[in-house]
């Protein structure tokens, strides 16, 4: 695999601290992006309903086909609404991020269970290779979102017979990885996948919002951590999350 791509956004964080006009132009570009993403499914639903009203209702086969398409557009809108809410919740929690020591294996199991139907349907095996006592210093709900998004992506972009593994890494004490044996991605795309709404192949990613990794990146940044990606087309990808690991002084150590 190629070397990890560092996605730290120090430059962006610095420039975002410079003042209100920039913030407001960021807000309006964000609103424009959301409207753009909403427009297509809404236009499709409208077209399908118009076609049904114009006579397609009379043919049961055509009718069923169109309703199925309308249903998947509605599902997409629903996923978009959920993900937008997550974006909002993550930015709201900036001031009051409650951190605790969380058992990674338990949270990885929760993520694996949440995607088990998808994994089964796709014939992908999810393995958890994390020691029981391995803990990360994180907000549990947000850690769940990180794991869920990374494991779901890994399953989604891995073909039948492949596998996904959640494991820890020896490089530092707050570090874990989600790796897969999936389709991988071109090196040039890696920096873009964390942008809101970005999907490498929009046809293959039909039904997805392109918001998951931007949420993951926001959460990791909020924790003061780092996320890096190694990937090779046709071989698979590894998403590595490195969270700060403050040294905990036990009462015994304090007394010494």
Ligand X SMILES: Nc1ncnc2c1ncn2[C@@H]1O[C@H](COP(=O)(O)OP(=O)(O)O)[C@@H](O)[C@H]1O
Site residues for ligand X per CB under 6 A: 149, 153-154, 157, 180, 182-185, 193, 198-201, 205, 208-213, 237
According to CB under 5 A, which one of 142, 153, 165, 214 is a site residue for Mg ion?
A: 153
Measured from each CB, the residue nearest to Mg ion is 212
Residue 176's binding partner, choosing from Mg ion, ligand X, none, with beta-carbon cut-off 5 to 8 A by kind? none
Closer by beta carbon to ligand X, 9 or else 103: 9
The whole-angstrom separation of Cα 34 and Cα 41 is 12
Residue by residue, DSSP assigns 39-78 as: HHHHHHHHHHHHHHHTTGGGSHHHHHHHHHHHHHHHHHHH
**Would you say 34 or 49 has its CB closer to ligand X?**
34
Half-sphere exposure of 70 (CA within 13 A, CB side): 14
Q: CB under 5 to 8 A by kind: which of Mg ion, ligand X, none does 210 bind?
A: ligand X
- Look at phi and psi of residue 90 and say left if phi exceeds 0, alpha if psi is from -120 to 50, else beta: alpha
Which H, E and C letters describe 95-141, residue by residue? CCCCCEEEEHHHHHHHHHHHCHHHHHHHCCEEEEECCCCCEEEECHH
Nearest distance from C-beta of residue 153 to Mg ion, angstroms? 4
Report in angstroms how near the CB of residue 201 gets to ligand X at its nearest.
6
Sign for the CA dihedral angle at 64, 65, 67, 72 comes to positive
> Out of Mg ion, ligand X, none, which partner does residue 182 contact, by CB within 5 to 8 A per kind?
ligand X
Q: Which of residues 166-225 bind Mg ion (CB under 5 A)?
A: 212
Q: Give me the least distance between CB of 193 and ligand X, in Å please.
A: 4
Cβ 103 to ligand X shortest distance, Å: 24
Closer CB to ligand X, 136 or 190, in the complex: 190
> What contacts 47, CB < 8 A, 6 or more positions away?
none
Of 174 and 212, which CB lies nearer to Mg ion in the complex structure? Answer: 212
């Amino acid at each position: 695999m190629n070397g990890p791509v560092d996605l730290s956004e120090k430059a962006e964080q610095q420039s975002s601290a410079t003042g209100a006009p920039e913030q407001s132009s960021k807000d309006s570009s964000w609103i424009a992006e959301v409207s753009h993403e909403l427009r297509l499914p809404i236009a499709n639903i409208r077209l399908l309903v118009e076609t049904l009203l114009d006579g397609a209702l009379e043919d049961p086969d055509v009718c069923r086909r169109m309703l199925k398409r309308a249903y998947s557009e509605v599902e997409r809108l629903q996923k978009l609404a959920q993900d937008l809410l997550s974006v909002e919740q993550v930015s709201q929690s900036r001031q009051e991020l409650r951190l605790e020591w969380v058992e990674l294996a338990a949270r990885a199991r929760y993520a694996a269970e949440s995607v088990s139907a998808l994994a089964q349907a796709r014939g992908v095996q999810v393995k958890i290779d994390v020691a029981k006592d391995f803990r990360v210093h994180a907000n549990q709900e947000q850690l769940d979102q990180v794991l869920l998004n990374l494991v779901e992506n890994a399953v989604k972009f891995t073909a039948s017979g492949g596998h996904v593994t959640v494991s820890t890494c020896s490089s530092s004490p707050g570090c874990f990885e989600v790796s897969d044996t999936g389709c991988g991605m071109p090196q040039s795309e890696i920096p873009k996948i964390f942008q809101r709404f970005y999907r490498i192949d929009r046809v293959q990613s039909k039904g997805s919002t392109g918001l998951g990794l931007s949420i993951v990146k926001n959460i990791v940044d909020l924790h003061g951590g780092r996320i890096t990606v190694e990937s090779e087309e046709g071989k698979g990808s590894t998403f590595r999350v490195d969270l700060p690991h403050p040294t905990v002084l036990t009462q015994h150590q304090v007394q010494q």
